[in-house]
Structure 1
Amino acid sequence: MEIPVYNKQGEKIDRIQLDEKKFGAPIRTTLLRDVVIMYEANMRQGTASTKTKAEVAGGGKKPWVQKHTGRARAGSIRSPLWKGGGVAFGPKPRDYSYTVPKKAKKSALYSAVALRARDNELIVVDTIQFDIPKTKQMMDTLRVLGIYGESCLIVIPQKDENVWKSARNIPCVKVMTSSALNAYEILKPKKILLTRDALEKIQ
């Protein structure tokens, strides 16, 4: 699979070949689904909490005698059946995070990149560098590449403060390094903008 390489002016200057062993395999949608669910589960706060009958204040006294009132039996005003009572089987704080094997994560990343490349949603540029942080320069670059106004992930080979600061005020644009990349981040936005060096690091 070959992908065109553009410069910051939007001109096609080269083509880059994706590793056929990694990106040429059939796209594993089931694996992608499993990995995305894992990343979403790991992001959950898990702080939802309710009080049980034992934890709600009050309810120590029996509301009325057991027999001879003609009413249903009641042992506490904090029963889950009563208004203001505890919650039966409600949520408690818990850790939802889990992991999948490293090979599965890597395979899912390759499948995600191949999927975006197949759908023409992956754009490779020769380089993205700015002398000073300038949002307008980043907006102009996205505009000439035809992706301004869409959700976009910019992937660079290493941390670059100028690139990050230039993109942080643009809505729906996120900057990541290639080492932090995963299948979830690749599948989330509409467009992926990779530098040539970042793509080579992934390969």
Structure 2
Amino acid sequence: MPTVGLFNKEGQKVGDIQLAEGVFGIEVNQYALHQVVVAQLANKRQGTQSAKTRSEVSGGGIKPWRQKGTGRARQGSIRAPQWIHGGVVFAPKPRDYRVSIPKSMRRVAMKSALTSKVLDNQMVVLENLELESPKTKEMVKILNAFDAKKTLIVTAESNENIYKSARNLGEVAVLPVNNLNVYDILKYDKFIVTKDAVSKIEEVYA
């Protein structure tokens, strides 16, 4: 059963916490991680890009000059792609980029991402993380205590004070447990999670 240190906000170790083997101690599945990250990024795409083909550009109905005898190359329309203001060849059109991933693969990928943070010693469990008011200075102090730069902070519930304290820090993100995802876990170097959030993760994925 994986064991990691339990820390307070000042960066002092106050004990150890045992993590569920089935969530934080599985064999990392690189294929599942790759598939889920690709799907997640694809699903973020809006797919609203659009350009006009030669049939959609206005004008160009008449042949610009006769077929033969002018010495110039034959042309059928001034809206052909080689003309300025002509249509676009294979123009992009609105489409859905969504990729469907089986639920079982998503679960394996999530467990693999969590396990990788434990194996790489990038996971920090906090006893609690409460701020009386939004204070970026306080958040910087907490991050410095763990030498954390590019960091994902996970809380058990949405916490406005913590979110507002971190939102001006460029490489820091704050997520409640129910918004936790594979891409963000892998994207950030440090994974700081509260003890209550760990319990919720284990409750869902164990």
Fold-level similarity (TM above 0.5): yes
Query: What is the CA deviation profile of residues 162-194 of structure 1, one whole-angstrom value per residue up to 9, with x for unaligned ones?
Result: 111121222211110011101111011111110
Aligned to 1:69: 70
| CA distance in structure 2 between the partners assigned to 1:74 and 1:146 by the alignment | 67
Residue pairs, 1:58-97, within 5 angstroms: 58-97=59-98
Aligned to 2:111: 110
| CA distance in structure 2 between the partners assigned to 1:132 and 1:71 by the alignment | 75
Structure 1 contact 49–90 (Cα < 8 Å) conserved: yes
| CA distance in structure 1 between the partners assigned to 2:124 and 2:21 by the alignment | 18
1:127 to partner: Cα distance: 0.7
Query: What is the CA deviation profile of residues 72-92 of structure 1, one whole-angstrom value per residue up to 9, with x for unaligned ones?
Result: 321101112323311111211
Query: What is the CA deviation profile of residues 31-85 of structure 1, one whole-angstrom value per residue up to 9, with x for unaligned ones?
Result: 1011001110111121222210012222111011123334332110111232331
Aligned to 1:133: 134
Structure 1 segments unaligned to the other structure (5+ residues): none
1:107 to partner: Cα distance: 1.4
Aligned to 2:101: 100
Which amino acid in structure 2 is aligned with residue 173 of structure 1? V
Number of equivalenced pairs? 201
Identical residues among aligned pairs (%): 45
Aligned to 2:164: 165
Structure 2 segments unaligned to the other structure (5+ residues): none
Per the normalisation by structure 2, the TM-score is: 0.92
Structure 1 contact 105–182 (Cα < 8 Å) conserved: no
Structure 1 contact 53–78 (Cα < 8 Å) conserved: yes
| CA distance in structure 2 between the partners assigned to 1:82 and 1:134 by the alignment | 58
1:128 to partner: Cα distance: 0.3
Which amino acid in structure 2 is aligned with residue 132 of structure 1? S
Aligned to 2:151: 152
Structure 2 contact 24–118 (Cα < 8 Å) conserved: no
Aligned to 1:196: 195
| CA distance in structure 2 between the partners assigned to 1:17 and 1:107 by the alignment | 20
Per the normalisation by structure 1, the TM-score is: 0.93
Which amino acid in structure 2 is aligned with residue 108 of structure 1? A
Which amino acid in structure 1 is aligned with residue 190 of structure 2? K
Q: C-alpha root-mean-square deviation of aligned residues, in Å?
A: 1.4
